[in-house]
Chain A
Amino acid sequence: MQVNEFKPKIVAFCCNWCSYAGADLAGNNRLNYPDNVKIIRVPCSCRVNPMFILRAFQRGADGVILCGCHPGDCHYTSGNYYTRRRMALLFSMLEYLGIEKERTRVEWVSAAEGAKFSATMNEFCEQVAALGENKRLEDLRCKQ
């Protein structure tokens, strides 16, 4: 079926201190994750403001995932606690506007969790692939 051939574009915002290192570890351990996940490194998950998420969709992402340190482990003490609230509200709002909730996710991945990083990305990719292309938050001007 066509759905299986569809390769979604995924943007992953990863915090510099945990999740980005987790992605590195996944690589070192030869763990696979899909090449259509594009990682954007941010100093802290808290750096990601709602506009980043929307802009990722605008520029063609089919799913956006935000990864940070586990709550309590933030390099800046409390950044990810704010992220948690912000994204809970933002994603809930997107769902309220009728945008599929499976397109967005927050996951806490530590520097030691290469395996979790790889598993999360594989799973998220499948989940978004099943939904098909992002239509509801797309900007046609940005399509090639």
Chain B
Amino acid sequence: MQTVTRNQLVEKAKELLNNGTVTRVLGIKKGEFSYDLTPAVFTSAEELEKEFEFNGFAAANFSKYLVKLADGEGKILVFLKPCDSYSFNQLLTEHRFNRENVYAVGIECDGFADYKKIEEEFNDGIKSVEFNGEKIEVTTLYDGKKELAFADYMLERCKNCKTKKIAAFDELLTENSDETKNTRFEEVEKLEAMTPDERYAFWRNELSRCIRCNACRDVCPACTCEKCVFNNPDSGVENKAIQNSFEENMFHIIRAFHVAGRCTDCGECSRVCPQHIPLHLLNRKFIKDINSFYGEYQAGAEVGNRAPLVNYTKEDIEPKDAVGRGSEE
């Protein structure tokens, strides 16, 4: 359940629009149901009143949109959750948008709900979902009302939330927090503890579902190449559809590798995957390795940090000592 309310955000947005600080507001628009929220740009108080929405499903990371939107006329207001703020800094580090054109308001975050998990619970149509404190009230089409505990139906990334600290803002709407948690590598460790055969079987099962829709890549705030190798017929590795297990592995290894050291672990890739492949487990493996080989590093913690893969020390670990280290610890 979010402590920040929709009305708070709308009031703030209206205030900043009215006093001329910003000309546009990047927010979320209502959908047909409570869960189908779409990021959108608002330019007037009326629009905000009418269509702005913010609830327990408003998990989308806004930062990538700034690459496109920060070029417009006047400043754009963006609400940054902790996750978004790291992506925000990382994009600034890579000079992907102009900071001057953005007004960032930091908002605290208490985690978001995973619609898929709620849906699995019923095998039924879901009429509406209401967030009420620690509870989620679900009205189904055929089975009446059900109450669920919010904590059990959070997105994976929120359950293992790495930090509640907002890393970038011009203004804070709520308190900033230093709360951090270190549970996010548990799944990775479980995999590392398996035998290679088990790991191979695990990933085959997961990756073989991939339909190569590219949603994981296109939603990723770290994936901002103008032209991806996988879309470029001249690259020699372009592939529109997956032909076999090799291409599944290749796409997912390269996707994760290309954002290694730049991935802030915002979890959008896993959230949007239509096949529910736990893609974050690839990214987190890289993060965990980077932390253990080269020292703790959080991408996007500060603007201008040098990413681990474009950096080195003379004493770095040798690949032969590095490989498989996780599983031997």
Contact = CB atoms under 8 A, between A and B. Distances in A.
Interface of A: 50-51, 54-55, 57-58, 71-72, 78, 81-82, 84-101, 104-106, 136-141
B309 A89 contact: yes
Contacts of A84: 312, 316, 318-319
B297 to A, nearest CB: 12
A92 B316 contact: no
A94 B286 CA distance: 11
Interface of B: 191-192, 196-204, 229, 237, 243-244, 246-247, 249-250, 253-254, 256-257, 260, 282, 285-286, 289-290, 293-294, 308-314, 316-320, 322-327
A106 B317 CA distance: 12
A2 B164 CA distance: 58
A99 B196 contact: yes
Given A89-B290, A93-B256, A106-B320, A58 B250 contact: yes
Contacts, number: 120
A50 B289 contact: no
Given A81-B316, A82-B309, A89 B260 contact: yes
B325 A92 contact: yes
A85 B308 contact: yes
Contact of A96 (B191, B260, B309, B317): B191
B contact patch SS: helix
Contacts of B247: 139
A140 to B, nearest CB: 6
B111 to A, nearest CB: 27
9 contacts: A50-B257, A57-B246, A71-B314, A81-B313, A84-B318, A84-B319, A88-B289, A90-B257, A93-B256
Contact of B244 (A86, A90, A139): A139
Contacts of B318: 84, 88, 106
A136 B319 contact: no
Contacts of A139: 244, 246-247
Nearest to B199: A98
Contact of B319 (A51, A54, A87): A87
B259 to A, nearest CB: 12
B253 A92 contact: no
Given A84-B316, A93-B253, A94-B253, A55 B309 contact: no
B233 to A, nearest CB: 15
Nearest to B251: A54
Contact of B320 (A85, A93, A105): A105
A138 B314 CA distance: 35
Contacts of A137: 246, 249
A92 B310 CA distance: 18
A80 B262 CA distance: 21
Contacts of B254: 50-51, 54
Nearest to B198: A98
A89 B286 CA distance: 7
A54 B323 contact: no
A64 to B, nearest CB: 12
Nearest to A66: B319
